[in-house]
Amino acid sequence: MGFLTKIAICIVVTGVALHVIGFATPHWQELNNLRIGLWEICYDTEGCRSVFNDSHIFVNRAAQTMECLALICGVVCVVVSIMMSLQVEMTKGRCFKIVSVGTAFLAGICGLIGAIIFGMEDNLKDNKNTLSWSFATVIVGAILNIVGGCLLIP
């Protein structure tokens, strides 16, 4: 395994870690006393609630779906890449390399599409909410996955 492949694996692992952080935190949008994430809405005075229980604010299911797909693809890429780096006997074929590259690209593309959908929803509502650090973390993770996928190409 070459030096470039090891660098690519580190980049993909970092991208997936950033995606997990952004995926799980409720700081995608912020406005004064309100924080909105993919899965929960937090009010400074009332605490946090699931987006599934809140009838006032709609978080687009398409964004949730794309981010879930991105996370699944990223985890598959990391597992396959680590297996390749450990030189597990069954990963010596070209098939695992293709799976690793493909899932890295899919993770990045799905993550970016999910972020675009979430950001577009905010713009269509004409809210004054600002996109926050969790949103940016997911975008950086998606870009790192794409870069890692490029470096994994044989």
Phi, psi of 43 (to 5 degrees): -110, 140
Token pair 């597990």: residue: 88
Query: Domain total for the chain?
Result: 1
Q: Tell me the percentage of the chain whose pLDDT exceeds 70.
A: 86
* Residue 34 belongs to a domain: no
pLDDT at 138: 96
Range of the domain at 131: 3-25+59-152
**150 vs 51 pLDDT, higher one:** 150
Decide if 46 is inside a domain: no
pLDDT of residue 62: 85
What's the pLDDT score for residue 36? 83
What's the chain's average pLDDT?
Answer: 85
pLDDT digits (tens, 9 = 90+) for 42-93: 888 888 877 776 544 555 788 889 999 999 999 999 999 888 888 777 767 7
Of 29, 38, 18, the residue nearest 146 (C-alpha):
18
The answer to the question of residue 33 being in a domain is no
Instruction: Render the burial of 109-119: b for 16+ CB within 10 Å, e for the rest.
Output: bbbbbbbebbb
